[in-house]
Amino acid sequence: MMASFKRWLSAEWRFVLVAVGLLLLAMSLVGRMLMLQVLDITHGVDFLKRQGDSRTVRVEKIPGPRGMLTDRNGVPLAISTPVVDIIADPAHLVFTDDELQQLAFLLEMPAADIQSKLERYQAKRYMLIKREVSPIIADAVAELRIKGISGEEKYRRFYPGGEVTSHLVGYVDRKGRGQEGFENTYNTALQGDDGRRVLLKDLHDRTIKVLRQPKDPEPGDDIALSVDMRLQYLAYRELKTAVAKHRADAGSVVVLDIHTGEVLAMANQPAFNPNDRSRMNIASVRNRAVTDVFEPGSTVKPLAVLAALEAGKFSPDSKIDTNPGYVRVGRKTLLDPVNYGLIDVTKVITKSSQVGMTKIALTLEPEVVPSMLRRLGFAQPIDSGIPGESTGYFPYRERWRKIEQASLSFGHGVSVTAAQLARAYATVAARGEIRPVSFVKLSEPSKGEQVVAPALADQVIGMAKTVVGPTGTARKAASDLYSAAGKTGTTHKVGAKGYEAGKYISIFAGFAPADNPQIAVVVVVDDPKGREYYGGEVAAPVFSAIIEDGLRLLNVAPDMLSPESSESRLVSRGM
């Protein structure tokens, strides 16, 4: 009986303890409510509001659009378009089969794929369903009002020029940060400043209304590059055609405005499409015009002759004896393709005589030619800001060996980029005034520096005109509409173990019109295959096409034809 009583007592006490506990809890809640609503009504209301807001009020980022990149005439090269990432909260996702089918239809995805992915992420709070859909599609998805489905606003970068401007413009990563080209160089200026807005949402995380917008998004700066899209496409087209025709590994073209130093075009092959980076590789991304170096070869000869003229030891009419068609310098024998005999300095340039150039160089003090090349920008950066820009290679010697002195005069033992060579030729064409290279449109020409006397530059221009003439090495660089001047170059390709047999770099550097230069153009073709590999055969025709159509696009009047015959020819070409 005692045991039974104890059991009853134990049960009674358990009931009492539970009842007392519940009573105390109820009194605590009532007391808390009284304190919040009566004794401290302001604090109580604020507390309850905060609790409600934590469940229904959200602060969202409003992305600030990235600034545009345009060409010098306002043609868009890189623009940002609004898109939305469709995301899910799998842990709180609730939908019917019909809603799933509608979602799949809008996103153009198999419903089974969405379902499978949701099952894999069911314990997660974030899952990307589809990236970068249009705002119209995103609005349609929002109209389904599926609990746990929402959208994240962002911007997608679009490049209207595709491959044509890829090396100049570059691209951005998925977070909108510039990775190559001027997207990288000017990333800070282009980057927009995000805004914020406060949203009221229901318990299914669906937006009811915008409560306020404490900070508006600010777009990044728009930047006008110096390039002219018309010339850029022309350079791209002609280079691509030449690289394909000669089965070359690669190539570059640079077009400079002689009077301002602005880059009007810069194209490379191979190229890439920044709108489709799935096929992108390192070789195609590199802007070879500023990163890749090569021996400029005979394109240096007019520059070396400029040094000789300045030294006062030669004139364009000075005679050079190239007999018997070769010359020994130390242990090396330097050859001309034929024995030119007794020729003047002008013909040394016209025929690209190795023997003649060697004899001129060895007559000069050893530092005369190196000093000139350095003044013309060899081994000096162009300060493009493009990742990987090279300054090239230039030898510095306390004592120059004879073979080094000779080799430098015809462009061996030194390396440059296509952009550096273009700057040097633009300086000669500008009558000895060197200007900074600009990739951004200038409101006025940057100040130049006179590094060579104008009269001496004029003499070299006159000699360079003969190269494009009927007896020169670059007859294919000539235009029927515009006079031109320049120099061919053909060098063996330099590899890890020195010069590579049977592999060449074909070059043409020049400017036009010759008597009133407007643009300087450098064409470089890397390792053309087949019988044609000389600069005059491979690179010169690209130069010709660019100056003929490019100057016309720039409204430069032809100087080779009368106005009547010029107009007739343009009509016959359909221009």
Catalytic residues: 298
Which residues fall within 8 angstroms of residue 346, CB to CB, at 6 or more apart?
Answer: 316, 317, 462, 463, 466
Burial of 474 (0-12, 13-18, 19+ CB in 10 A): buried
Count of Cβ atoms closer than 10 Å to residue 428 Cβ: 28
> Is residue 222 classed exposed, middle or buried when 0-12, 13-18 and 19+ CB atoms within 10 A define those classes?
middle
Q: Are 335 and 324 in contact (CB under 8 A)?
A: no
Q: What is the DSSP letter of 416?
A: B
Contact (Cβ atoms closer than 8 angstroms) between residue 353 and residue 347: yes
Which candidate, 315, 409, 418, places its Cα nearest to that of 353?
Answer: 409
Distance (Å, rounded) from C-alpha 553 to C-alpha 227? 13
Task: Please report which helix (H) or strand (E) contains residue 53, including its range.
Answer: helix 41-56
Structural contact between residues 417 and 392, judged by C-beta atoms closer than 8 angstroms: yes
**Cα–Cα dist 467/484, whole Å:** 9
Q: Give the Å distances, CA to CA, from 213 to 59, 155, 540, 560.
A: 9, 19, 60, 64
User: How many H-runs (helices) and E-runs (strands) does the chain carry?
Assistant: 21, 19
H or E element, residue 24: helix 2-34
Burial zone of 205 (CB within 10 Å; 0-12 exposed, 13-18 middle, 19+ buried): middle
Q: How many CB atoms lie within 10 A of CB 301?
A: 29
Tokens matching residue 6? 């104890």
Q: Which two tokens stand for residue 22?
A: 């519940």
The Cα–Cα gap between 231 and 211 comes to 50
H or E element in which residue 188 lies: helix 187-190
By residue count, the chain amounts to 575
Amino acid identity of residue 532, one-letter, is E
Find the Cα–Cα–Cα–Cα dihedral 316, 317, 323, 327, rounded to 10°: -30
CA distance 20 to 24: 6
Q: What are phi and psi of 278, to 5 degrees?
A: -65, -25
Residue 361: CB atoms within 10 Å? 25
- Taking the CA of residue 367 as centre, how many other CA atoms within 13 Å lie in the half-sphere pointing to its CB? 6
Q: Is the separation of the CB atoms in 375 and 451 below 8 Å? A: yes
Please say whether the beta carbons of 228 and 74 come within 8 A: no
